[in-house]
A = this chain, B = another copy of it.
Amino acid sequence: MRKANQIFQGAVDAFAEKGFDRATMDEVAERAGVAKGTLYYHFVGKEELICFLMEEGIGQLSSAVAEAVAQTDDPQGQVRAAIGAMVAYSNENRKFCQLLVKCIWSNAERQEQFREILQSYFDRLTGILNHGIHRGVFQPQPMEWAPSAWFGLVTIVILRVILQGQATDQERLVDYLYTQYMYGIIGRDIKTPN
């Protein structure tokens, strides 16, 4: 179990930095601090390794969001909590966040497997939105696009922040993303509601 975890970390590191295709199994092994053969003792191959990583990572992210959302019944509070969880998770797992964006659309064949994993995450987002719509707080939405919009908005901004390596004021970032998503560019500033 020890080694398997080392491999997990090494793989996230390597894939996040170089991208799945450009990172070699040698690099993964080196960063994991294990011999190359050990990689193949624990994982069938490179492909299975990335799938495991994505499943694990998205699962954790999804759980973090679920937990945060469970704290309140208020739709707006839920969206804020969800975005807060996303930002916090990304901040604690910068490597994985890069890997996620780099790999999620990378390969047509893998697409199928990833999409399934991602779908469960999207379903969670959809659930939050539906709750708010049902309560009459959110506008009705074309639900085939809504989770993608949320995901795209939040993820791409976060990635930008991570890639620029700047130490970010998390609080401020969450505020921005929440306001933007909730009220758009035209809406009131949530910090100073009239």
Judging by beta carbons under 8 Å apart, are A182 and B182 in contact?
Answer: no
A177 close to B (CB within 8 Å)? yes
Number of copies: 4
Chain A count of residues within 8 A CB distance of the other chain? 53
| Whole-angstrom CA separation of A151 from B170 in the bound complex | 21
Measured between beta carbons, the chain B residues less than 8 angstroms from A184 are 179-184, 187
Judging by beta carbons under 8 Å apart, are A137 and B106 in contact?
Answer: no
Contact with B along A163-176 (1 / 0, CB 8 A): 10000000011001
Known A132-B185, A187-B139; contact A21-B21, beta-carbon cutoff 8 A: yes
| Whole-angstrom CA separation of A98 from B22 in the bound complex | 19
Give A contacts to B, CB under 8 Å.
Answer: 17-19, 21-22, 76, 79, 98, 101-102, 105-108, 111, 129, 132, 137-142, 145-146, 148-149, 151-157, 159-161, 163, 172-173, 176-177, 179-189
A and B contact pairs by CB, cutoff 8 A, 30 listed: A17-B108, A18-B107, A18-B108, A19-B106, A19-B107, A21-B21, A21-B22, A22-B107, A101-B105, A102-B106, A106-B106, A137-B186, A139-B179, A139-B186, A140-B189, A141-B185, A142-B172, A142-B176, A148-B157, A149-B157, A149-B177, A149-B180, A152-B153, A152-B156, A153-B153, A153-B156, A155-B156, A179-B184, A181-B184, A183-B186
